[in-house]
Structure 1
Protein backbone atom coordinates (compact mmCIF):
# COMPACT_ATOMS: atom_id res chain seq x y z
CA UNK A 1 0.00 0.00 0.00
CA UNK A 2 1.35 3.40 -0.95
CA UNK A 3 1.73 5.96 1.82
CA UNK A 4 1.98 9.73 1.63
CA UNK A 5 4.57 11.78 3.48
CA UNK A 6 5.41 15.45 3.18
CA UNK A 7 7.95 17.88 4.53
CA UNK A 8 9.00 21.45 4.08
CA UNK A 9 11.82 21.52 1.57
CA UNK A 10 14.30 24.04 0.20
CA UNK A 11 13.48 27.23 -1.67
CA UNK A 12 13.24 25.17 -4.84
CA UNK A 13 10.08 23.43 -3.60
CA UNK A 14 7.70 24.89 -1.00
CA UNK A 15 6.39 21.39 -0.21
CA UNK A 16 7.63 17.95 -1.17
CA UNK A 17 5.36 14.94 -0.97
CA UNK A 18 6.51 11.33 -0.84
CA UNK A 19 5.03 8.13 -2.18
CA UNK A 20 6.30 5.02 -0.41
CA UNK A 21 6.55 1.99 -2.69
CA UNK A 22 7.95 -1.51 -2.07
CA UNK A 23 11.30 -0.66 -3.72
CA UNK A 24 11.78 2.83 -2.32
CA UNK A 25 10.34 6.31 -1.93
CA UNK A 26 9.42 8.74 -4.70
CA UNK A 27 9.26 12.53 -4.31
CA UNK A 28 6.73 14.74 -6.04
CA UNK A 29 5.22 18.22 -5.96
CA UNK A 30 1.47 18.83 -6.02
CA UNK A 31 0.26 22.32 -6.93
CA UNK A 32 -3.01 23.96 -7.93
CA UNK A 33 -6.62 22.84 -8.18
CA UNK A 34 -8.63 21.45 -11.04
CA UNK A 35 -8.21 18.57 -13.50
CA UNK A 36 -5.06 16.59 -12.78
CA UNK A 37 -1.94 16.82 -14.96
CA UNK A 38 0.98 14.56 -14.00
CA UNK A 39 4.36 15.55 -15.44
CA UNK A 40 7.29 13.15 -15.82
CA UNK A 41 10.68 14.76 -16.54
CA UNK A 42 13.21 13.26 -18.90
CA UNK A 43 15.65 10.58 -17.79
CA UNK A 44 18.36 11.78 -15.41
CA UNK A 45 16.81 15.18 -14.74
CA UNK A 46 14.82 16.72 -11.90
CA UNK A 47 11.14 17.44 -11.46
CA UNK A 48 12.10 21.12 -11.46
CA UNK A 49 12.47 20.67 -15.21
CA UNK A 50 8.80 21.72 -15.10
CA UNK A 51 9.53 24.93 -13.17
CA UNK A 52 8.25 27.10 -16.05
CA UNK A 53 5.37 24.97 -17.32
CA UNK A 54 3.81 24.21 -13.93
CA UNK A 55 2.82 27.79 -12.98
CA UNK A 56 1.33 28.33 -16.43
CA UNK A 57 -0.84 25.23 -16.13
CA UNK A 58 -1.81 26.07 -12.55
CA UNK A 59 -2.84 29.57 -13.68
CA UNK A 60 -4.94 27.94 -16.41
CA UNK A 61 -6.89 26.00 -13.78
CA UNK A 62 -5.09 22.67 -13.51
CA UNK A 63 -3.69 20.66 -10.63
CA UNK A 64 -0.10 19.77 -11.56
CA UNK A 65 1.95 16.95 -10.04
CA UNK A 66 5.63 16.67 -10.99
CA UNK A 67 7.63 13.56 -10.11
CA UNK A 68 11.31 12.85 -9.51
CA UNK A 69 12.21 9.59 -11.25
CA UNK A 70 13.97 6.82 -9.35
CA UNK A 71 17.43 7.86 -8.20
CA UNK A 72 16.87 11.53 -8.98
CA UNK A 73 16.31 14.63 -6.86
CA UNK A 74 14.50 13.83 -3.61
CA UNK A 75 13.54 10.29 -4.66
CA UNK A 76 15.47 7.34 -3.25
CA UNK A 77 18.39 5.89 -5.19
CA UNK A 78 18.56 2.20 -4.14
CA UNK A 79 16.00 0.68 -6.52
CA UNK A 80 16.23 -2.83 -7.99
CA UNK A 81 15.73 -1.46 -11.52
CA UNK A 82 15.45 1.81 -13.45
CA UNK A 83 13.97 2.86 -16.79
CA UNK A 84 10.78 3.49 -18.74
CA UNK A 85 8.90 0.37 -17.62
CA UNK A 86 9.63 0.80 -13.89
CA UNK A 87 8.65 4.46 -14.27
CA UNK A 88 5.35 3.38 -15.86
CA UNK A 89 4.57 1.23 -12.82
CA UNK A 90 5.50 4.14 -10.55
CA UNK A 91 3.17 6.38 -12.56
CA UNK A 92 0.27 3.97 -12.22
CA UNK A 93 0.88 3.67 -8.47
CA UNK A 94 0.96 7.45 -8.12
CA UNK A 95 -2.27 7.91 -10.09
CA UNK A 96 -4.04 5.32 -7.97
CA UNK A 97 -2.73 6.98 -4.83
CA UNK A 98 -3.83 10.46 -5.87
CA UNK A 99 -7.27 9.02 -6.73
CA UNK A 100 -8.28 12.19 -8.59
CA UNK A 101 -9.89 10.59 -11.63
CA UNK A 102 -8.29 10.07 -15.03
CA UNK A 103 -5.28 12.35 -15.45
CA UNK A 104 -3.56 13.97 -18.37
CA UNK A 105 0.04 12.70 -18.38
CA UNK A 106 2.84 14.83 -19.81
CA UNK A 107 5.94 12.69 -20.27
CA UNK A 108 9.27 13.88 -21.63
CA UNK A 109 11.78 11.50 -23.24
CA UNK A 110 11.58 8.18 -21.36
CA UNK A 111 8.68 9.73 -19.45
CA UNK A 112 6.77 9.55 -22.73
CA UNK A 113 7.55 5.83 -22.96
CA UNK A 114 6.21 5.38 -19.44
CA UNK A 115 3.05 7.30 -20.35
CA UNK A 116 2.44 5.03 -23.35
CA UNK A 117 2.95 1.89 -21.27
CA UNK A 118 0.60 3.11 -18.53
CA UNK A 119 -2.06 4.26 -21.00
CA UNK A 120 -2.10 0.79 -22.55
CA UNK A 121 -2.09 -1.09 -19.25
CA UNK A 122 -4.40 1.12 -17.17
CA UNK A 123 -6.51 3.31 -19.50
CA UNK A 124 -8.97 4.01 -16.69
CA UNK A 125 -6.28 6.13 -14.99
CA UNK A 126 -5.38 8.32 -17.97
CA UNK A 127 -7.49 10.73 -20.02
CA UNK A 128 -4.77 11.63 -22.52
CA UNK A 129 -1.01 11.70 -23.04
CA UNK A 130 1.32 14.50 -24.10
CA UNK A 131 4.52 12.93 -25.45
CA UNK A 132 7.32 15.48 -25.39
CA UNK A 133 10.59 14.58 -27.18
CA UNK A 134 9.27 11.03 -26.96
CA UNK A 135 11.34 7.90 -26.59
CA UNK A 136 8.73 5.20 -27.21
CA UNK A 137 11.08 2.89 -29.12
CA UNK A 138 14.78 2.13 -29.17
CA UNK A 139 16.76 4.16 -31.68
CA UNK A 140 19.66 2.91 -33.74
CA UNK A 141 22.80 4.04 -31.92
CA UNK A 142 25.93 4.87 -33.92
CA UNK A 143 29.46 3.94 -32.84
CA UNK A 144 30.08 7.27 -31.07
CA UNK A 145 26.79 7.03 -29.17
CA UNK A 146 27.54 3.42 -28.15
CA UNK A 147 30.97 4.49 -26.89
CA UNK A 148 29.45 7.36 -24.90
CA UNK A 149 26.86 5.03 -23.36
CA UNK A 150 29.63 2.62 -22.37
CA UNK A 151 31.61 5.40 -20.69
CA UNK A 152 28.49 6.57 -18.86
CA UNK A 153 28.39 3.19 -17.14
CA UNK A 154 31.76 3.89 -15.50
CA UNK A 155 31.01 5.50 -12.08
CA UNK A 156 34.07 7.77 -12.07
CA UNK A 157 33.37 9.11 -15.55
CA UNK A 158 29.59 9.09 -15.63
CA UNK A 159 28.78 12.30 -13.77
CA UNK A 160 31.32 14.68 -15.39
CA UNK A 161 30.66 13.22 -18.83
CA UNK A 162 26.90 13.49 -18.44
CA UNK A 163 27.07 17.04 -17.11
CA UNK A 164 29.29 18.09 -20.03
CA UNK A 165 26.72 16.66 -22.45
CA UNK A 166 23.66 18.15 -20.70
CA UNK A 167 23.75 21.61 -22.40
CA UNK A 168 23.24 19.96 -25.80
CA UNK A 169 19.66 19.12 -24.78
CA UNK A 170 18.73 22.80 -24.35
CA UNK A 171 20.20 24.72 -27.31
CA UNK A 172 17.98 27.68 -26.35
CA UNK A 173 18.68 27.64 -22.60
CA UNK A 174 16.61 29.64 -20.09
CA UNK A 175 18.13 32.38 -17.97
CA UNK A 176 18.48 30.05 -14.96
CA UNK A 177 20.14 27.24 -16.91
CA UNK A 178 23.37 27.33 -14.86
CA UNK A 179 21.43 27.24 -11.59
CA UNK A 180 19.35 24.25 -12.66
CA UNK A 181 22.42 22.43 -13.96
CA UNK A 182 24.15 23.00 -10.61
CA UNK A 183 21.15 21.50 -8.77
CA UNK A 184 21.26 18.49 -11.07
CA UNK A 185 24.99 18.03 -10.50
CA UNK A 186 24.45 18.24 -6.75
CA UNK A 187 21.76 15.56 -7.02
CA UNK A 188 24.25 13.15 -8.59
CA UNK A 189 26.71 13.82 -5.75
CA UNK A 190 24.29 12.66 -3.06
CA UNK A 191 25.26 9.49 -1.19
CA UNK A 192 24.43 6.25 -2.99
CA UNK A 193 24.02 7.80 -6.45
CA UNK A 194 27.32 6.97 -8.10
CA UNK A 195 25.75 4.22 -10.19
CA UNK A 196 22.42 5.87 -11.06
CA UNK A 197 23.57 7.26 -14.44
CA UNK A 198 24.97 3.91 -15.51
CA UNK A 199 21.81 2.14 -14.38
CA UNK A 200 19.74 4.18 -16.82
CA UNK A 201 22.11 3.56 -19.74
CA UNK A 202 20.86 0.00 -20.25
CA UNK A 203 17.24 1.13 -20.48
CA UNK A 204 15.07 -0.14 -23.33
CA UNK A 205 11.81 1.34 -24.62
CA UNK A 206 10.77 -1.85 -26.40
CA UNK A 207 7.92 -2.53 -23.97
CA UNK A 208 6.44 0.89 -24.72
CA UNK A 209 6.71 0.31 -28.46
CA UNK A 210 5.00 -3.07 -28.09
CA UNK A 211 2.00 -1.29 -26.52
CA UNK A 212 1.58 1.59 -28.96
CA UNK A 213 -1.28 -0.09 -30.81
CA UNK A 214 -3.11 -0.64 -27.52
CA UNK A 215 -3.22 3.04 -26.57
CA UNK A 216 -6.79 4.24 -27.01
CA UNK A 217 -6.61 7.61 -25.22
CA UNK A 218 -5.97 10.82 -27.20
CA UNK A 219 -2.34 11.77 -27.69
CA UNK A 220 -0.32 14.88 -28.54
CA UNK A 221 3.31 14.77 -29.69
CA UNK A 222 5.60 17.75 -29.04
CA UNK A 223 9.04 17.78 -30.64
CA UNK A 224 11.81 20.31 -31.02
CA UNK A 225 13.43 20.41 -34.44
CA UNK A 226 16.82 20.79 -32.72
CA UNK A 227 16.52 17.60 -30.63
CA UNK A 228 19.89 15.86 -31.04
CA UNK A 229 18.66 12.53 -29.70
CA UNK A 230 17.20 11.63 -33.09
CA UNK A 231 18.87 11.84 -36.54
CA UNK A 232 15.59 13.35 -37.84
CA UNK A 233 13.41 14.53 -34.95
CA UNK A 234 10.58 15.62 -37.25
CA UNK A 235 10.41 12.17 -38.84
CA UNK A 236 10.41 10.56 -35.40
CA UNK A 237 7.57 12.81 -34.22
CA UNK A 238 5.56 11.92 -37.29
CA UNK A 239 6.23 8.21 -36.80
CA UNK A 240 5.01 8.33 -33.19
CA UNK A 241 1.98 10.40 -34.16
CA UNK A 242 1.15 8.00 -36.98
CA UNK A 243 1.15 5.03 -34.61
CA UNK A 244 -1.13 6.83 -32.16
CA UNK A 245 -3.30 8.95 -34.45
CA UNK A 246 -1.91 11.97 -32.62
CA UNK A 247 -1.45 15.65 -33.38
CA UNK A 248 2.11 16.98 -33.71
CA UNK A 249 3.42 20.31 -32.44
CA UNK A 250 6.89 21.18 -33.76
CA UNK A 251 8.98 23.84 -32.05
CA UNK A 252 11.63 25.30 -34.31
CA UNK A 253 15.10 25.03 -32.80
CA UNK A 254 13.98 23.50 -29.51
CA UNK A 255 15.99 20.64 -28.06
CA UNK A 256 15.10 17.68 -25.86
CA UNK A 257 13.25 19.71 -23.21
CA UNK A 258 10.78 21.84 -25.22
CA UNK A 259 8.77 22.84 -22.13
CA UNK A 260 11.93 24.43 -20.66
CA UNK A 261 12.85 26.40 -23.78
CA UNK A 262 9.32 27.34 -24.95
CA UNK A 263 7.07 27.02 -21.86
CA UNK A 264 4.37 29.42 -23.08
CA UNK A 265 3.97 27.65 -26.42
CA UNK A 266 3.93 24.25 -24.75
CA UNK A 267 1.40 25.46 -22.18
CA UNK A 268 -0.86 26.74 -24.96
CA UNK A 269 -0.62 23.38 -26.76
CA UNK A 270 -1.22 21.36 -23.58
CA UNK A 271 -4.20 23.42 -22.40
CA UNK A 272 -5.80 23.32 -25.86
CA UNK A 273 -5.31 19.56 -25.95
CA UNK A 274 -6.59 19.14 -22.38
CA UNK A 275 -9.66 21.19 -23.22
CA UNK A 276 -10.50 18.80 -26.05
CA UNK A 277 -10.49 15.72 -23.82
CA UNK A 278 -13.77 14.19 -22.69
CA UNK A 279 -14.63 15.02 -19.10
Structure 2
Protein backbone atom coordinates (compact mmCIF):
# COMPACT_ATOMS: atom_id res chain seq x y z
CA UNK A 1 0.00 0.00 0.00
CA UNK A 2 1.10 3.55 -0.65
CA UNK A 3 0.34 7.14 0.33
CA UNK A 4 1.74 10.54 -0.62
CA UNK A 5 3.29 12.89 1.91
CA UNK A 6 1.81 16.40 2.11
CA UNK A 7 5.26 17.99 2.57
CA UNK A 8 6.91 17.21 -0.76
CA UNK A 9 4.70 14.69 -2.58
CA UNK A 10 6.94 11.70 -1.88
CA UNK A 11 5.15 8.37 -2.23
CA UNK A 12 5.83 6.05 0.70
CA UNK A 13 5.06 2.34 1.01
CA UNK A 14 3.65 0.64 4.07
CA UNK A 15 2.25 -2.75 5.04
CA UNK A 16 -0.84 -3.31 7.18
CA UNK A 17 -1.82 -6.62 8.76
CA UNK A 18 -4.38 -7.81 11.29
CA UNK A 19 -6.97 -6.13 13.45
CA UNK A 20 -6.97 -4.81 16.99
CA UNK A 21 -4.80 -2.39 18.95
CA UNK A 22 -2.32 -0.76 16.60
CA UNK A 23 1.46 -1.22 16.58
CA UNK A 24 3.46 0.85 14.10
CA UNK A 25 6.95 -0.49 13.43
CA UNK A 26 9.64 1.94 12.28
CA UNK A 27 12.67 0.23 10.73
CA UNK A 28 16.31 1.02 11.23
CA UNK A 29 18.27 2.88 8.58
CA UNK A 30 19.03 0.86 5.43
CA UNK A 31 16.38 -1.72 6.38
CA UNK A 32 12.75 -1.94 5.30
CA UNK A 33 9.49 -3.48 6.49
CA UNK A 34 10.86 -6.98 5.90
CA UNK A 35 13.11 -6.63 8.97
CA UNK A 36 10.05 -7.17 11.18
CA UNK A 37 9.22 -10.67 9.90
CA UNK A 38 9.78 -12.17 13.37
CA UNK A 39 7.58 -9.58 15.08
CA UNK A 40 4.61 -8.86 12.80
CA UNK A 41 3.18 -12.42 12.54
CA UNK A 42 3.68 -12.91 16.30
CA UNK A 43 1.59 -9.87 17.19
CA UNK A 44 -1.05 -10.28 14.46
CA UNK A 45 -1.68 -13.81 15.73
CA UNK A 46 -2.24 -12.35 19.21
CA UNK A 47 -4.87 -9.85 18.15
CA UNK A 48 -2.91 -6.76 17.13
CA UNK A 49 -2.95 -4.67 13.99
CA UNK A 50 0.63 -4.26 12.74
CA UNK A 51 1.71 -1.50 10.36
CA UNK A 52 5.24 -1.03 9.06
CA UNK A 53 6.62 1.87 7.03
CA UNK A 54 9.31 1.95 4.34
CA UNK A 55 11.31 5.12 4.96
CA UNK A 56 11.91 7.35 1.90
CA UNK A 57 14.80 5.91 -0.12
CA UNK A 58 14.13 2.47 1.38
CA UNK A 59 12.17 -0.58 0.28
CA UNK A 60 9.35 0.24 -2.14
CA UNK A 61 9.15 3.94 -1.25
CA UNK A 62 10.22 6.75 -3.57
CA UNK A 63 13.84 7.86 -3.74
CA UNK A 64 13.54 11.66 -3.70
CA UNK A 65 16.51 14.00 -3.83
CA UNK A 66 15.94 15.32 -0.30
CA UNK A 67 14.09 14.93 2.95
CA UNK A 68 16.52 12.57 4.67
CA UNK A 69 16.88 14.74 7.77
CA UNK A 70 15.26 13.37 10.91
CA UNK A 71 12.69 16.17 11.07
CA UNK A 72 11.34 15.23 7.64
CA UNK A 73 11.35 11.48 8.22
CA UNK A 74 9.56 12.09 11.53
CA UNK A 75 7.02 14.15 9.59
CA UNK A 76 6.66 11.21 7.18
CA UNK A 77 5.72 9.03 10.17
CA UNK A 78 3.19 11.67 11.22
CA UNK A 79 1.76 11.66 7.70
CA UNK A 80 1.24 7.88 7.88
CA UNK A 81 -0.60 8.12 11.20
CA UNK A 82 -2.76 10.92 9.84
CA UNK A 83 -3.38 9.13 6.53
CA UNK A 84 -4.74 6.09 8.39
CA UNK A 85 -6.24 8.21 11.19
CA UNK A 86 -4.57 6.08 13.83
CA UNK A 87 -4.97 6.72 17.55
CA UNK A 88 -3.85 4.92 20.72
CA UNK A 89 -0.85 3.69 18.75
CA UNK A 90 2.21 1.88 20.10
CA UNK A 91 5.29 3.03 18.20
CA UNK A 92 8.19 0.57 18.01
CA UNK A 93 11.41 1.93 16.53
CA UNK A 94 14.69 0.18 15.81
CA UNK A 95 17.97 2.10 15.54
CA UNK A 96 17.34 5.29 13.49
CA UNK A 97 13.64 4.48 13.73
CA UNK A 98 13.88 5.20 17.46
CA UNK A 99 15.39 8.62 16.75
CA UNK A 100 12.53 9.35 14.35
CA UNK A 101 9.93 8.37 16.93
CA UNK A 102 11.47 10.65 19.55
CA UNK A 103 11.52 13.51 17.05
CA UNK A 104 7.95 12.73 15.97
CA UNK A 105 6.76 13.11 19.57
CA UNK A 106 8.66 16.40 19.96
CA UNK A 107 7.21 17.82 16.73
CA UNK A 108 3.70 16.38 16.72
CA UNK A 109 2.86 15.57 20.32
CA UNK A 110 1.43 12.46 21.93
CA UNK A 111 -2.25 12.77 21.02
CA UNK A 112 -2.16 9.72 18.71
CA UNK A 113 0.30 7.68 20.79
CA UNK A 114 -0.34 5.36 23.73
CA UNK A 115 3.21 4.11 24.29
CA UNK A 116 6.62 3.85 22.65
CA UNK A 117 9.34 1.20 22.50
CA UNK A 118 12.94 1.98 21.58
CA UNK A 119 14.81 -1.10 20.32
CA UNK A 120 18.58 -0.67 19.92
CA UNK A 121 17.73 2.96 19.23
CA UNK A 122 20.27 5.58 18.21
CA UNK A 123 19.41 7.91 21.05
CA UNK A 124 19.85 10.38 22.61
CA UNK A 125 22.75 12.09 20.75
CA UNK A 126 25.79 10.55 19.05
CA UNK A 127 27.94 13.59 18.29
CA UNK A 128 30.79 14.64 20.57
CA UNK A 129 30.22 18.21 21.75
CA UNK A 130 31.22 20.28 24.78
CA UNK A 131 27.99 19.32 26.54
CA UNK A 132 28.05 15.73 25.24
CA UNK A 133 31.55 14.54 26.21
CA UNK A 134 30.75 10.84 25.82
CA UNK A 135 29.79 11.30 22.16
CA UNK A 136 31.56 10.17 19.01
CA UNK A 137 34.07 12.50 17.30
CA UNK A 138 32.86 13.84 13.97
CA UNK A 139 36.04 12.49 12.36
CA UNK A 140 34.63 9.00 12.83
CA UNK A 141 31.51 9.95 10.89
CA UNK A 142 33.65 11.39 8.09
CA UNK A 143 35.72 8.20 7.95
CA UNK A 144 32.57 6.07 7.77
CA UNK A 145 31.14 8.20 4.96
CA UNK A 146 34.47 7.95 3.12
CA UNK A 147 34.32 4.15 3.32
CA UNK A 148 30.72 4.10 2.09
CA UNK A 149 31.60 6.33 -0.86
CA UNK A 150 34.70 4.27 -1.68
CA UNK A 151 33.07 0.81 -1.59
CA UNK A 152 29.54 0.64 -0.22
CA UNK A 153 29.10 -3.16 -0.66
CA UNK A 154 32.37 -3.83 1.18
CA UNK A 155 31.39 -1.50 4.03
CA UNK A 156 27.94 -3.11 4.32
CA UNK A 157 29.50 -6.58 4.30
CA UNK A 158 31.79 -5.66 7.19
CA UNK A 159 28.85 -4.19 9.13
CA UNK A 160 26.78 -7.33 8.60
CA UNK A 161 29.55 -9.47 10.11
CA UNK A 162 29.24 -7.53 13.38
CA UNK A 163 25.52 -6.81 13.26
CA UNK A 164 24.31 -9.92 15.10
CA UNK A 165 27.25 -10.09 17.54
CA UNK A 166 27.92 -13.67 16.52
CA UNK A 167 31.29 -13.54 18.30
CA UNK A 168 29.31 -13.58 21.56
CA UNK A 169 27.62 -16.88 20.78
CA UNK A 170 24.54 -15.69 18.86
CA UNK A 171 23.73 -18.29 16.21
CA UNK A 172 22.76 -16.77 12.87
CA UNK A 173 22.74 -18.66 9.60
CA UNK A 174 24.84 -17.41 6.65
CA UNK A 175 21.56 -17.04 4.79
CA UNK A 176 20.17 -14.68 7.45
CA UNK A 177 23.31 -12.54 7.34
CA UNK A 178 23.07 -12.46 3.55
CA UNK A 179 19.38 -11.53 3.67
CA UNK A 180 20.12 -8.56 5.93
CA UNK A 181 23.04 -7.54 3.73
CA UNK A 182 20.85 -7.61 0.61
CA UNK A 183 18.14 -5.55 2.31
CA UNK A 184 20.71 -2.87 3.10
CA UNK A 185 22.25 -3.08 -0.35
CA UNK A 186 18.84 -2.42 -1.94
CA UNK A 187 18.56 0.96 -0.19
CA UNK A 188 19.29 4.12 -2.18
CA UNK A 189 23.04 4.86 -1.88
CA UNK A 190 22.18 8.56 -1.52
CA UNK A 191 19.73 7.79 1.30
CA UNK A 192 22.37 5.76 3.14
CA UNK A 193 24.79 8.68 3.13
CA UNK A 194 22.23 11.29 4.11
CA UNK A 195 20.53 9.24 6.84
CA UNK A 196 23.84 8.31 8.47
CA UNK A 197 24.79 11.98 8.49
CA UNK A 198 21.40 13.09 9.82
CA UNK A 199 21.14 10.67 12.74
CA UNK A 200 24.71 11.46 13.84
CA UNK A 201 23.85 15.15 14.24
CA UNK A 202 20.36 14.57 15.68
CA UNK A 203 20.10 15.71 19.31
CA UNK A 204 17.04 14.12 20.93
CA UNK A 205 17.94 14.78 24.56
CA UNK A 206 15.18 17.30 25.15
CA UNK A 207 12.73 15.22 23.13
CA UNK A 208 13.31 12.24 25.44
CA UNK A 209 12.89 14.34 28.57
CA UNK A 210 9.52 15.50 27.25
CA UNK A 211 8.01 12.05 26.66
CA UNK A 212 5.16 11.34 29.08
CA UNK A 213 3.63 8.17 27.58
CA UNK A 214 4.85 4.79 28.88
CA UNK A 215 8.16 3.79 27.31
CA UNK A 216 10.18 0.60 26.92
CA UNK A 217 13.91 0.72 26.16
CA UNK A 218 15.61 -2.46 24.94
CA UNK A 219 19.31 -2.58 24.13
CA UNK A 220 22.02 -5.19 23.74
CA UNK A 221 25.29 -4.76 25.61
CA UNK A 222 27.25 -6.04 22.57
CA UNK A 223 25.76 -3.55 20.12
CA UNK A 224 28.50 -2.47 17.70
CA UNK A 225 26.31 -0.07 15.69
CA UNK A 226 24.84 1.75 18.71
CA UNK A 227 27.27 1.22 21.63
CA UNK A 228 25.24 0.86 24.78
CA UNK A 229 27.22 3.32 26.90
CA UNK A 230 26.52 6.09 24.37
CA UNK A 231 22.94 5.12 23.53
CA UNK A 232 20.77 2.72 25.55
CA UNK A 233 22.09 3.47 29.02
CA UNK A 234 22.06 7.22 28.44
CA UNK A 235 18.52 7.04 27.07
CA UNK A 236 17.47 5.24 30.26
CA UNK A 237 19.11 7.98 32.37
CA UNK A 238 17.09 10.65 30.54
CA UNK A 239 13.88 8.62 30.96
CA UNK A 240 14.02 7.40 34.58
CA UNK A 241 10.42 6.19 34.54
CA UNK A 242 10.88 4.06 31.41
CA UNK A 243 11.13 0.28 31.56
CA UNK A 244 14.78 -0.40 30.66
CA UNK A 245 15.86 -3.90 29.64
CA UNK A 246 19.43 -4.78 28.78
CA UNK A 247 20.15 -7.97 26.83
CA UNK A 248 23.53 -9.57 27.57
CA UNK A 249 25.60 -10.46 24.47
CA UNK A 250 22.96 -9.00 22.12
CA UNK A 251 23.97 -6.94 19.11
CA UNK A 252 22.15 -4.45 16.90
CA UNK A 253 20.21 -7.25 15.21
CA UNK A 254 18.62 -8.45 18.44
CA UNK A 255 15.18 -8.45 16.78
CA UNK A 256 16.44 -11.66 15.09
CA UNK A 257 18.87 -13.20 17.58
CA UNK A 258 16.69 -12.42 20.59
CA UNK A 259 13.32 -12.36 18.84
CA UNK A 260 11.61 -14.63 21.35
CA UNK A 261 12.67 -12.52 24.31
CA UNK A 262 12.00 -9.22 22.54
CA UNK A 263 8.52 -10.31 21.48
CA UNK A 264 7.71 -11.45 25.02
CA UNK A 265 8.95 -8.16 26.48
CA UNK A 266 6.96 -6.13 23.94
CA UNK A 267 3.83 -8.17 24.60
CA UNK A 268 4.20 -7.69 28.35
CA UNK A 269 4.66 -3.96 27.78
CA UNK A 270 1.58 -3.78 25.56
CA UNK A 271 -0.57 -5.52 28.16
CA UNK A 272 0.72 -3.62 31.17
Tell me if both proteins adopt one fold, taking TM over 0.5 as the criterion.
Answer: yes
**Larger relative contact order, structure 1 or 2 (CA cutoff 8 Å, min sep 6):** 2
1:194 Cα deviation (Å)? 3.5
1:73 Cα deviation (Å)? 1.0
| Separation of aligned partners in 2, 1:123 and 1:173 | 38
Is 1:92 aligned to 2:88, yes or no? Answer: no
| Separation of aligned partners in 1, 2:50 and 2:196 | 29
Task: Tell me the TM-score normalized by structure 2.
Answer: 0.84
1:209 Cα deviation (Å)? 2.3
> Deviations 1:115-156 (Å, cap 9, x if unpaired)?
1122233201111100011112332225873353231452x5
| Separation of aligned partners in 2, 1:173 and 1:118 | 35
Is 1:220 aligned to 2:216, yes or no? Answer: yes
Aligned to 1:170: 164
Distance 1:174 1:86, change over 3 A: farther
Aligned to 2:2: 18
> Deviations 1:42-76 (Å, cap 9, x if unpaired)?
11112111011111111121111111111111111
> Deviations 1:56-113 (Å, cap 9, x if unpaired)?
1111211111111111111111141214322211111111111132200000111111
The 3-state SS of whatever aligns with 2:2 is strand
Give ranges in structure 1 of 5+ residues lacking alignment.
1-16
The 3-state SS of whatever aligns with 2:186 is helix
Kept in 2: contact 1:114–1:208 (CA 8 A): no
Q: What CA RMSD, in Å, does the superposition of the two structures yield over aligned residues?
A: 2.2
The 3-state SS of whatever aligns with 2:83 is helix
Match of 1:76 among 62, 69, 76: 62
Higher mean C-alpha deviation, range 58-67 or range 75-84: 75-84
Kept in 2: contact 1:223–1:234 (CA 8 A): no
Aligned to 2:191: 196
Distance 1:42 1:230, change over 3 A: closer
Give ranges in structure 2 of 5+ residues lacking alignment.
127-134
Count of aligned pairs between the two proteins: 254
